[in-house]
Chain A
């Protein structure tokens, strides 16, 4: 099973709302990623977790707050977003960061619209 699942599929929120995106994988992967993707652009890395610890933060604004409660789950908490944050948010996982295998498996994404 090489599946990464994400919920919800679609999310519409106001600028004062608080919401969370969820990601789950059961491949035993110990590295998990959040990406943001705008239309017709490649995915942009936001955060990387390795063994449930934040390993990389690509200078993402604090209105995005990641959390890795356990090795299978990854959350992205959203608060006071701006309309320009509207995008497809992708989760991915890979076996580890330290091994020779860097193959990342992506989920289907959450389409976020900020009004």
Chain B
């Protein structure tokens, strides 16, 4: 069964600190992996996309890694800001059919002043 699991479920950090979110997947055949940021009550917004051959990709203070062998990905947030408070969702796309997204359970991040 195609699944995407994330950890931790929730995280509280102080402003300016770094944090790392984890994503494990069992989706096959694998096409790509995306990290989304979702503010409460809003639609998910893409942060990064990684294909099978990519190990690291950065987008500002966000850096994603992918280990296709172990089927793990991480999202590292550097120098967190209050506006980083949101849910971060790992989404894996299968390389078949309609490129349906398989959503992870999400990590709810709260950044405190």
- A interacts with B: no
